Every structure is written in structure tokens, then in C-alpha cells.
Structure 1
Amino acid sequence: MSNFIKQVALVGGGGNAGSHIARALLQTGKHSVTAISRSSSSSSSSTIPPGIPTVRVNYGDPESLVSALRGYDALVITLGVMAPPGTQESLIRAAVQAGVPWILPNEWAADTYDAGLQRDVVPYKQKAEFRKFIEDLPGGGAVSYVAVHTGFWYEFSLPIPDAFGFDLTTRTATLFDDGTAKISTSTLPQVGRAVAALLSLPVTHPDPAVATLDRFRNKPVYVSSFTVSQSDMLDSLCRVTGTLKADWTVRHESSANRYSAGVEAIQRGDWSGMVKMMYARNFFRDGAGDYERTRGTANGVLGLESEDLDEATTMAVERGKY
């Protein structure tokens, strides 16, 4: 096997993160990317970035998956919240059987290694379980994972009122507690660049000073565009929209109460509470959302620069118009 990742299979290549990952991988000129899609998917192949072939598979047919994944150096999984139950398990099993040596599982979130977040946010606990699932599968010792943590996607999240607490239409800001708790977050283009840089590293190198993919074997990788508070976001929104804070209705809400309200909504069958619950939990005073401080990032190793907050806010405002 080559000491570099060349052939990459990508699940979710037409999605929010997947499309940016696909483009960034192609732009390196070092990778051949193939999109893996369900044969029953109603999504159009036109959502896949140009230059990426699509292989359609039957997720209910294990051999179909195994056959589709043979010969790849890495499998990158990006799945939406509406993906059928068992999808990631099927993909991981097939990757192990097909001999894919590297898997980037469906992480793309805040710090899913944090004990408090695992306890309080069920999807984060499930991500930890998927990592153990890879380690414990028969034959899984030949397959390694890298868990890429990006935080919430900034320009995707900012226009969603239940997420960061901003309603751009009514110019209402709901600040959790005093609005100064910081979280690490990434733009979607930064997510793409991070994966492309990671998979462009040599797998191994005799010089320990050289960054390698092996350094991150079965470990987390933390990346970000910046680490900001809601107050920082509001200041940026004012600059970008040419408004004053006096033009905004600013409210305050306990992050703990907001989290509990989200949990209660889920218990009533209202799954919109999931967004409120997940985001509010990352703003708790324990600092779990600020992994730049608690864990450090791999931005330097991967050559990722911090992004301009106002430029990202501009993207969010434009996104919020649609």
C-alpha cells in the first residue's frame, strides 16, 4: 500500500459538509474521490460536486457495500440526521470487510470525547459508541479511525434561532446566561480544508518531526475557524448588517433552562427541541464547548488559518435569506 491516501470513498458527498469535503479533496490534486449513495436515494446526483463519480449501493445488501468499498484507502462518512438507523454500522462493517484501512466516522461535531457532553447529549454518546464499534469489530484491528471535531458549523448555525439564539429576521438575540461563554466553531469550507489536509498527510514518516496521519490513529482531531461567544457574534452581526445593538432586541436565558426546555420538548415528541438542547449544552459554564482551550487544535499541524469572523457572519446572513 502507498504511504499516502489516494482513493477516497465519501458518503454524503452532496450534503452540507460532504460537498465541501469533496471539493477540497479534489482541489489538492492528490486524491480520487467517489461518492457512495443509496440506490433508493431520491437526491439528485447534481448535488454532488462536478468531477466526482457516484456509485449507488443497496444498504440492505452487505455484499453490495463491500464490493463498492474495495480498493479504497479511506472512507469518509457524513450522514444527515434523517439517515436510516443502522446506516453507519452497515458502512463500517462493510469497510472492515473490504479492507479499507482508514475511516473518518460521522463526527463533525463538538467535543464528543467530553464526559459531560456525552452524558447530557445522547447523539454525542452514540458517536463514542461508534468509535468503540470500529475498535471491537472482528478484523477491526486492521482498520483505524480519525474522529474529526469541527464544532457547530458557524454560517449554517447562525441563521437558526434555536441554535446560537439569533433570529436574523426579527433582529432578536437570546444570549445564554451573560452571553460570554465561548465555543469553538468552524465554517463549512474550513471543514473541507481540514479533511483534505488531514488525508494529504503521509501515513507514516521516519522523522518524528514530520506530521503524519498515523499521529491521529484512533484519536480525535480538533479543528476550528475561531472560538467566539454570543456577544462576539452579536458584535459581528452589527458590523456586517450596519446596525447598532440598540436595533436588536436582546434577551437573556439560562443555558441550563434552555437545555432543559429542549429535553422536555423531545420527551413530548417535538424533535425541534434537539437543536435547542444540543446547542445550549455547549454554552454551559463548564467550558465544554471551548475545545480550543481544553484540548487544543490541530490547525497548525494541518496548515489551517483562523478565519475572519465578519466574513463568516456575512456568509451566515446571506444563507439566512434563503
Structure 2
Amino acid sequence: MASTKNIRNIVLVGANGTIGAPILSALLAAGHKTTVLTRPGSNAKFPSAVTVHVGAYSDEDFVVRGLKDQDVLILALGFNAYDVQIPLIKAAAKAGVSYIVPCEFGSDPTHPKLNAEIQMMNVKAPFRKLIEDLGVSSWIGVVNNPWVEFSIRLGLYGIDLKKRTAAFYDNGEVKANFTTLTRVGETLANMFALPEAVLSKFKNEFVYFSSFYVSQRDFLASAMRATGTTEKDWTITSVSSDQVLQAAKEPSADLTARMMTLFALVFKEGYGGDYNSKVVDYEKLGLPAEDLDALMGRLVRELGA
């Protein structure tokens, strides 16, 4: 990372959420002057170093005031609140905010085969277009694939620590990139500490974050080391990813079946889960490699597995 560390004025919306909380922690750790916009009635508590503005996101005057003299707006809202971004993006343009990180934080929206299968990927595009059309701010989209801690806790990678089961897609050997919630926050915070000449290269581009480049079998191997078990202690099954995709398209498919399409595709060759060649340069960002076994050990203890 450059020797001159830049401190920016950054506004975060959704600072108490799954991805917002680790982003807030990382911004503060990096020394950024951090402001949070939060709605009336919220019970969220924030560190004293955070400037907090309370008001309705639909109140343009309130949002513009909160964004005055700010460099960056990070939107860390839930997937069911994407439209909430619209007045915030418009207010950012009025306030002259240079960068907006919209609600992306998922799989690669630029991958054509993935987009053809997961229609929700296309839902995010209008917000990026709105930023471009307003012509003031630039967006930076984050690609991180399903978050590691979140997914392992829920068994979404096919590895259930408590039940000691592993359900592989196909042979379980396809590698993909996966990012911890903590690393998403750290990477954003360190990116926004870069000099403008470097940061500007990311304008209206996707940035690719990754903690681990691993397969389902790698996750299982780490889980076995963390639990002191061997394969004989686990129930291991496999399912065809093509069958999972087909089942999700049936009229009778429920929400869970449709959601699992994403995970089947992450572990399927040629569907964008592997973006290892595009990952940001963590050495230049000053971030050390993460330890999958250490993380797995913490999750084993947390879950009592």
C-alpha cells in the first residue's frame, strides 16, 4: 500500500447489518472520518467516533445535509431494500459525493452464464445506471461471492459442522473464491485509503475480493482438522449441480430451492465462482492472508460442533 495513507469522509447506510457492521469497524480501524445515516426508531448503538444522523432516507434534504462534504457513500442495505438506494443516490449527486458503493456484495454480475441463470443478478444494474446517468458520482461494485462465516453457519456450502454432513455438488472439487465479512470491510477501508490517482482506476468498475480460493472438499478438510475428525465421522453425499438447477426451475420449487441455485453455480465450472485472476492485490493494500483453519476453528467453537 502507498506510504501516504488517505483519510476520507465516508458515509455508511446500513451500518448495523450483516455486512454493514464489519464495514463500519474496518472504516474506523483505518482512521476514516465515518458518518452513519440511520432511520428514526433505530435502536442501533455506535462508537463515539462515529457521527450519526437520524432521519428518513426518503427525505432528500436530510440526506443531502448528511452527505455534505463527504467523499464516499457506502450502501449496505438488505437484498429486499434495493429501491431504498434511489433517493440516497440522487441525494449523493446533489451533495457532490465522488464515490458510491451500491448494494452489490455478491457474485459476479458481469458473468453472462451466471446472469442467465440468476435473474436477481440483473436487479442491481439499474442502480449503477442511475449513478452514471446523474453524472456526478462514480460507483464501485464489490464482488465477494457468498460470505464465508454467514454461509458456513447455515451450512450453505454443503458443510454442516454440527450434523457432520457434507453434500458435494458433483465431485466437490471445483474451486471458487470466497470472502469473509471481515475481509470485505477491511478491503473497502484500505481501498479508500489509497491515493486518488490509484483509487480513481476503480471508477464505475467491479472490484473482486477474496479470502480463500477453495473447493467444497477443501472446506471439509478444514472442518475435519477443526473438529479433530476424519471422513468416517462424516456423512458425505453428492448431487448433480444440473439436477439442482433443473429442480429450481420447476413450478413447484420453493424459495429455498431457488436460493440454492446460486450455491450450486458457485461450485460449478464455468459459472463465475472462480474469479481468482481478478482479485485485488492484497499485498499492495497491506492486508495479510487469512487462515481458513483458524476461522473454521472459531466457527466450530461458536456452534458447539
TM-score normalised to the size of structure 2? 0.91
Question: How much has 1:215 moved relative to structure 2?
Answer: 1.3
Question: How much has 1:268 moved relative to structure 2?
Answer: 4.9
The separation in 2 between residues aligned to 1:50 and 1:169, in whole angstroms, is: 38
List gaps (5 residues or longer) in structure 1. Answer: 205-211
| 1:310 corresponds to | 293
Aligned runs of 1:193-212 on 2, under 5 Å? Answer: 193-204=186-197, 212=198
The separation in 2 between residues aligned to 1:12 and 1:149, in whole angstroms, is: 18
Aligned runs of 1:173-322 on 2, under 5 Å? Answer: 173-204=166-197, 212-264=198-250, 268=252, 270-293=254-277, 295-321=278-304
List gaps (5 residues or longer) in structure 2. Answer: none
The separation in 2 between residues aligned to 1:202 and 1:12, in whole angstroms, is: 26
Does the residue aligned with 1:142 lie in a helix, a strand or coil? coil
Greater CA drift, 70-79 or 115-124: 115-124
Partner amino acid, structure 2, of 1:88 = Q
Does the residue aligned with 2:10 lie in a helix, a strand or coil? strand
Check conservation: 2:114, 2:271, Cα contact below 8 A: no
The separation in 1 between residues aligned to 2:56 and 2:287, in whole angstroms, is: 37
Does the residue aligned with 2:103 lie in a helix, a strand or coil? coil
Partner amino acid, structure 2, of 1:24 = A
Which consecutive segments of 4 or more residues in structure 1 shift more than 6 A?
none
The separation in 2 between residues aligned to 1:99 and 1:164, in whole angstroms, is: 41
Q: Sequence identity, in percent?
A: 36
Question: How much has 1:287 moved relative to structure 2?
Answer: 4.8
TM-score normalised to the size of structure 1? 0.86
Check conservation: 2:175, 2:267, Cα contact below 8 A: yes
Question: How much has 1:286 moved relative to structure 2?
Answer: 1.0
Q: Which residue of 48, 55, 61 corresponds with 2:53?
A: 55
Check conservation: 1:11, 1:18, Cα contact below 8 A: yes
Check conservation: 1:154, 1:312, Cα contact below 8 A: no
| 1:14 corresponds to | 16
| 1:208 corresponds to | none
Question: How much has 1:164 moved relative to structure 2?
Answer: 0.6
Give the root-mean-square deviation of aligned CA atoms.
2.2
Check conservation: 1:8, 1:32, Cα contact below 8 A: yes
Q: 1:51 to 1:321 in 2, by over 3 A?
A: farther
Greater CA drift, 90-99 or 236-245: 90-99
| 2:148 corresponds to | 154
Does the residue aligned with 1:9 lie in a helix, a strand or coil? strand
| 2:69 corresponds to | 71
Corresponding pairs, count: 301
Greater CA drift, 297-306 or 193-202: 297-306
